[in-house]
Amino acid sequence: MTTSPAPAAPNLRALQPGELARALAGKGLWIDLGAATVRVRSDSAVFAAQLGTVYGELPLADQGVWADTHIDIRRATGLRRWVRPQVVLWCDGQQPFEPFPADSPLPLFEWGCNWQIAHRLNDLLLLHAGAVERDGLALLLPAMPGSGKSTLTAALSQRGWRLLSDEFGAFDPQAGVFRAMLKPIALKNQSIEVIRAFAPQARFGPEFPKTRKGRVAHLAATADAVRRRHEPARPGAIVLPKWEAGSATRWEPLAEHVAFPALAFNAFNYTVLGEAGFRAAVHLMRVCPAWQLVYSDLDDALATIAATWPAVVQRHAEALR
């Protein structure tokens, strides 16, 4: 459950400079991602500026009763305040990760936040998958290394598909629906230019040239995705993307014995959920048609998905009847 912000609260993007920094330095900021709320505090003005760029569409919530995880981003003390300065992540009175350079608090926050979510929310089956919604149905893009999952998720989110999450296919087994875990999409290396060219209107945070995962920039969720982050989505379809330089688009039905491990064994907490996780994954396999998509051209890949979608919608409508 999440704290609902007052309807009149301004978006973070509309705040005066310094206002966000003041909230972060005070009681903190409650960031409602849909399926979870993060309370974040910080004494770093650099962080406040970076945070505002990628969570800009979120309403300001500078007090709250409940958060599912609490993260403080603090400037390091002592020598590390001045010499190659660092920022440190604190959570519940502990410092679980190594510090980051002081100019990169946003990647530290994003990474730490994802780690906390992946380890704490075992009420949900957390698939490692991009998830977008259309017609009330979720399209899942399970991740394989180098699959281009984030690129495809980002592209879909800029062309009429509502972003649920780039990282977490958050399935609520009790309700049988996916929930949004609406964090900015972390794009790496050449994907950044690909999406900038594909969607010039897209809002990006600053670029971080030298993180552990290479060059990273974060794509902000659209205003519509933020506004609708509490709308669930029923399981729709599974698409296993595979980016191959120069390849023509290939769209092939995926056998269950390939789709199931891609979905389940990739999940963050499939084993922790035990029987509940197995049942949920089997259910998803039963109700969702699955395809493999090999692509190099984004427009063509999106057109291919769009061409198949009406059949997916119809299949689910018939199942409901």
Site string for another protein, 224-243 (x = CB under 8 A): --------------------
d(CA 113, CA 116): 5
The burial of 307, by beta-carbon neighbours within 10 Å (0-12 exposed, 13-18 middle, 19 or more buried), is given as: exposed
d(CA 130, CA 140): 6
| Nearer CB in complex with another protein: 161/171 | 171
Which DSSP category does 114 fall into?
H
Under rule CB under 8 A, residue 114 binds another protein: no
Site of tokens 């958050």 = 170
Under rule CB under 8 A, residue 93 binds another protein: yes
Smallest distance from another protein to CB 65, Å: 5
Smallest distance from another protein to CB 174, Å: 9
Under rule CB under 8 A, residue 104 binds another protein: yes
d(CA 296, CA 244): 6
Under rule CB under 8 A, residue 127 binds another protein: no
d(CA 92, CA 75): 17
Contact 3, 62 (CB under 8 A): no
* Span of 121-129, 143-151, 183-191, 256-264 interacting with another protein by CB under 8 A: 121-129
Residue 165 amino acid letter: S
What sections of 202-297 are H helices per DSSP? 223-227, 256-264, 270-273, 275-287
Under rule CB under 8 A, residue 175 binds another protein: no
| Nearer CB in complex with another protein: 41/316 | 41
What are the residues whose beta carbons fall under 8 Å from the beta carbon of 286, sequence distance 6 or more? Answer: none
| Nearer CB in complex with another protein: 125/219 | 125
What are the residues whose beta carbons fall under 8 Å from the beta carbon of 87, sequence distance 6 or more? Answer: 44, 47, 73, 74, 75, 76, 99, 100, 101, 102, 104, 105, 108
Site string for another protein, 134-173 (x = CB under 8 A): ----------------------------------------
Under rule CB under 8 A, residue 308 binds another protein: no
Site string for another protein, 241-280 (x = CB under 8 A): ------------------------------xxxx-x----
Under rule CB under 8 A, residue 92 binds another protein: yes
| Nearer CB in complex with another protein: 98/318 | 98
Question: Which residues would be at the binding site for another protein (CB under 8 A)?
Answer: 1-2, 65-68, 70, 90, 92-94, 98, 100-101, 104, 107, 120-123, 210-212, 271-274, 276
